[in-house]
Structure 1
Amino acid sequence: MVTTKKIILDPYKDILKQILAEVVDLRQKIETKANQRLQKYTGKFKSGYFSDSAGNLAHYLAMRQFDLRHLQDRLAQAGLSSLGRAEASVLSTMDSLIDILKRATEKHYLPDEKKTSKYGFNLGRQLLKQHTIDLFGPSPEQGRAHVMVTLPTEASLDYLLVSSLLEKGMTCARINCAHDDPVIWEGMIKNIRRAEIETRCSCRILMDLAGHKIRTGPVELGPSIHHIRVQKDLTGKVVAPGYLILTSNPESRSIDSTLFRVPIPKLLHNELVPGMHLGFMSNQDKSRYLKVEKALSETDWLVSCDKTAYLVPGCAVTLTTKHQSDNQTSDNQFTLGEFTGEPLDIRVFKNQLLLLTNGNINGKPAEQDENILIHPAQIGCTLSSLIEKLKVGQSVWIDDGKLGAVVEAVTEQGALLRVTVAKAGGVRIQSDKGINFPEAEFNLPALTQKDLIDLDFICVHADLVGFSFVETLADMECLMSELTKRKASKLPIIAKIETNRAVKNLPDIILGTIGRHNLGIMIARGDLAVELGSARLAEIQEEILWLCEAAHVPVIWATQVLESITKKGTRSRPEFTDAAMAVRAECVMLNKGPYILDAIGALVSVMVRMHEHQRKKFSRLRALHW
Structure 2
Amino acid sequence: MNEKTGFDGSVWQPEALLDVLEALRWDIEEGAERWLRRYEDAFPDGVTTSAENFAHYLALRNRDLRSVQRSLARFGLSSLGRHEPHVLAGLNEVIEALGARVGRVTQRRRGGPTFEQAHLRLATHAADLLGSVPEGRDSRVMVTLPSAAADDPDLVRSLVASGMDMARINCAHDDPAMWRRMARHVRDAEARTGRSCRVHMDLAGHKVRTGPVAPRTPVVRLKPVRDAYGRAVRRAQVDLVHPEQIGDTGRGGVPRLCLDGETLASMKVGDRLRFRDARKSSRLLAVREAIPGGFRADIGSTAYVTPRTRFALQRRGAGKWQTVIRGLRCGGFVEAQMEIRLFEGDTLVLLRRPEPGTPGRRDEDGGMVVPARIACSHPQVIDQLDPGQAVWIDDGKIGAEVECVDAHGARLRITRSRPQGAVLHEDKGLNFPGLDLGLPALSAQDEQDLDFVAELADTVALSFTESRSDLEALGAALARRGAVDLGVIAKIETQRGVQNLPDILLGGMGRFDLGVMIARGDLAVEIGGERLAEVQEELLWLCEAAHVPVIWATQVLESLAKKGIASRPELTDAAMSGRAECVMLNKGPYIVTALRTLDGILHRMQQHQRKKTPRLRALGIVQNQPAPQPAADE
TM-score by length of 1: 0.78
Closer, same or farther: CA 70–313 of 1 in aligned 2, 3 Å? farther
SS at match of 1:477: helix
Aligned match for 1:59, one of 49, 52, 56: 56
Distance 1:441 1:397 in 2: 15
Aligned match of 2:166: 172
Report what 1:94 is aligned to: 91
Query: 1:117: how far off?
Result: 5.3
Equivalent position of 1:74 in the other structure: 71
1:138 alignment partner in structure 2: 132
Residues 359, 553 of structure 1: alpha-carbon distance in 2 compared, 3 angstrom cutoff: farther
**Closer/same/farther in 2, CA of residues 288 and 166 from structure 1, 3 Å limit:** farther
User: SS state of the match for residue 118, structure 2?
Assistant: helix
Question: Counterparts of 2:56 and 2:107 in 1: how far apart (Å)?
Answer: 21
Q: 1:306 to 1:146 in 2, by over 3 A?
A: farther
Is 1:202 the counterpart of 2:202 in the alignment? no
Choose from 279, 285, 288 the match for 2:238.
Answer: 285
Deviations 1:27-56 (A, max 9, x none): 111111101110111123334x10111000
Q: Which amino acid aligns with 2:39?
A: Y
Name which of 357, 380, 384 aligns with 1:363.
357
Query: Is residue 407 of structure 2 the alignment partner of residue 412 of structure 1?
Result: yes
Alpha-carbon offset, residue 500 of structure 1: 0.8
Aligned to 1:513: 508
The SS at the match of 1:211 is coil
Give the residue type in structure 2 aligned to 1:375: V
Q: Which amino acid letter does the alignment assign opposite residue 604 of structure 1?
A: D
Question: How does 1:27-38 map onto structure 2 within 5 Å?
Answer: 27-38=25-36
Task: Indicate conservation of the 8 Å contact 1:228/1:308, yes or no.
Answer: no
- Could you tell me which of 491, 497, 504 is aligned with 1:502? 497
Structure 2: gaps spanning 5 or more residues: 1-11, 229-234, 266-290, 295-329, 615-634
How far does residue 144 in structure 1 lie from its aligned partner after superposition? 3.3
The letter for the 1-side match of 2:123 is K
Matched, 1:103 2:96: no
Q: 1:116 to 1:380 in 2, by over 3 A?
A: closer
Q: Which amino acid aligns with 1:162?
A: V
Which residue of the partner structure matches residue 379 of structure 1? 374
Instruction: Within 5 Å, give how 1:304-343 maps onto structure 2.
Output: 307-312=252-257, 341-343=335-337
The answer to whether residue 158 in structure 2 is matched with residue 158 in structure 1 is no
Q: Supply the distance in 1 between the matched residues of 2:222 and 2:571 (Cα, whole angstroms).
A: 36
Q: 1:158 to 1:305 in 2, by over 3 A?
A: farther
Q: 1:526 to 1:228 in 2, by over 3 A?
A: farther
Cα separation, 2, equivalents of 1:529 and 1:339 = 40
Per-residue CA deviations over 1:316-344 (Å, capped at 9, x if unaligned) read: 899xxxxxxxxxxxx9859x998861333
C-alpha displacement of 1:374: 5.1
Alignment of 1:358-507 (within 5 A): 358=352, 360-368=354-362, 370-371=364-365, 373=368, 375-507=370-502
Structure 1: which 5+ runs fail to align?
1-13, 235-281, 293-301, 319-330, 620-626
CA 1:80–1:459 in structure 2 vs 1: closer, same or farther (change >3 Å)? same
Q: What percent of counterpart residues are identical?
A: 47
Tell me by how many angstroms 1:439 deviates: 4.0
CA separation in 2, counterparts of 1:613 and 1:285? 62
Answering whether residue 565 of structure 2 is matched by residue 565 of structure 1, we say no
Q: Which of the two has higher C-alpha Rg?
A: 2
Paired residue type of 1:450:
Q
- Matches of 2:432 and 2:183 in 1, distance apart? 35
Alignment partner of 1:185: what SS?
Answer: helix
CA distance in 2, matches of 1:533, 1:196: 40
Distance 1:411 1:170 in 2: 50
Residue 180 of structure 2, aligned match among 179, 186, 189: 186
Distance 2:251 2:555 in 1: 33
Q: Deviations over 1:348-377 (max 9, x none)?
A: 122222221236211232334645645322
For residues 306 and 597 of structure 1, do their structure 2 counterparts lie closer, same or farther at Cα, with a shift above 3 Å needed? farther
Residues 88 and 441 of structure 1: CA distance in aligned 2, closer, same or farther (over 3 Å): same
How has the CA–CA distance of structure 1 residues 446 and 118 changed in structure 2, closer, same or farther, with 3 Å as cutoff? closer
Decide whether aligned partners of structure 1 residues 545 and 227 sit closer, same or farther in structure 2, where only a CA change above 3 A counts. farther
Conservation of the 8 A alpha-carbon contact between 2:381 and 2:438? no
1:419 is paired with a residue of what secondary structure?
A: strand
DSSP-derived class of the 1:101 partner? helix
SS in 2 for 1:102: helix
TM-fit CA distance, 1:458? 0.5
- SS of match in other structure, 1:412: coil
Q: Given the superposition, is the C-alpha separation of residues 199 and 348 from structure 1 closer, same or farther in structure 2, using an over 3 Å criterion?
A: same
Structure having greater relative contact order (Cα 8 Å, sep ≥ 6): 1
SS in 1 for 2:408: coil
The offset of 1:209, in angstroms, is 1.0
C-alpha displacement of 1:416: 1.8
The CA deviation string for residues 170-205 of structure 1, in whole angstroms up to 9 with x for no partner, is 111111111221111112111111111112221111
Q: Following TM superposition, by how much is the alpha carbon of 1:591 offset from its aligned partner in structure 2, in angstroms?
A: 1.2
Give CA deviations for 1:234-287 in whole Å, capped at 9, x if unaligned: 9xxxxxxxxxxxxxxxxxxxxxxxxxxxxxxxxxxxxxxxxxxxxxxx996347
Q: Paired residue for 1:549? A: 544
Distance between the aligned counterparts of 2:578 and 2:221, measured in 1?
Answer: 45
Q: Report the residue type matching 2:544 in the other structure.
A: E
Paired with 1:440 and 1:169, the residues of 2 have a C-alpha distance of: 39
In 2, Cα distance between equivalents of 1:67 and 1:411 = 45
Does the Cα contact within 8 Å between 1:223 and 1:342 map onto a contact in 2? yes
Distance 1:574 1:304, change over 3 A: farther
Indicate if the aligned counterparts of 1:288 and 1:307 stay in contact, CA closer than 8 A: no
Q: Does the 8 Å CA contact 2:42/2:510 hold for their aligned counterparts?
A: no
Instruction: Describe the shift of the 1:579–1:313 C-alpha distance in structure 2 as closer, same or farther (beyond 3 A).
Output: farther
TM-score by length of 2: 0.77
Deviations 1:379-416 (A, max 9, x none): 22100121233212211101110110111222333222
Return closer, same or farther for 1:381/1:173 CA change in 2, 3 Å cut-off.
same
Contact kept in structure 2, 1:30 and 1:63, CA below 8 Å: yes
**RMSD between aligned residues:** 3.2
1:343 counterpart letter in structure 2:
Q
| Alignment partner of 2:24 out of 23, 26, 32 | 26
Rate the CA distance shift 1:305–1:409 in 2: closer, same or farther, 3 A.
same
- Give me the whole-angstrom Cα distance separating, in 2, the residues matched to 1:223 and 1:532: 40
> Residue in 2 aligned with 1:624?
none
Check conservation: 2:160, 2:195, Cα contact below 8 A.
Answer: yes
In structure 2, C-alpha distance between the alignment counterparts of 1:305 and 1:51, rounded to whole Å: 69
Deviations 1:202-223 (A, max 9, x none): 1111111111110111122334
CA separation of 1:392 and 1:40: change in aligned 2, threshold 3 A: same
Contact 2:393 2:430 in 1 (8 A): yes
Q: For this pair of structures, how many residues does the alignment match?
A: 529
CA, structure 1 residues 310+361, in 2 after alignment: closer, same or farther (shift >3 Å)? farther
**Could you say what secondary structure the match of 1:580 adopts?**
helix
Change (3 A) 1:35 1:439: closer
Matched, 1:599 2:552: no
Cα distance change on mapping 1:434 and 1:359 into 2, 3 Å: farther
Q: How far apart, CA to CA, are the structure 2 residues paired with 1:471 and 1:525?
A: 15
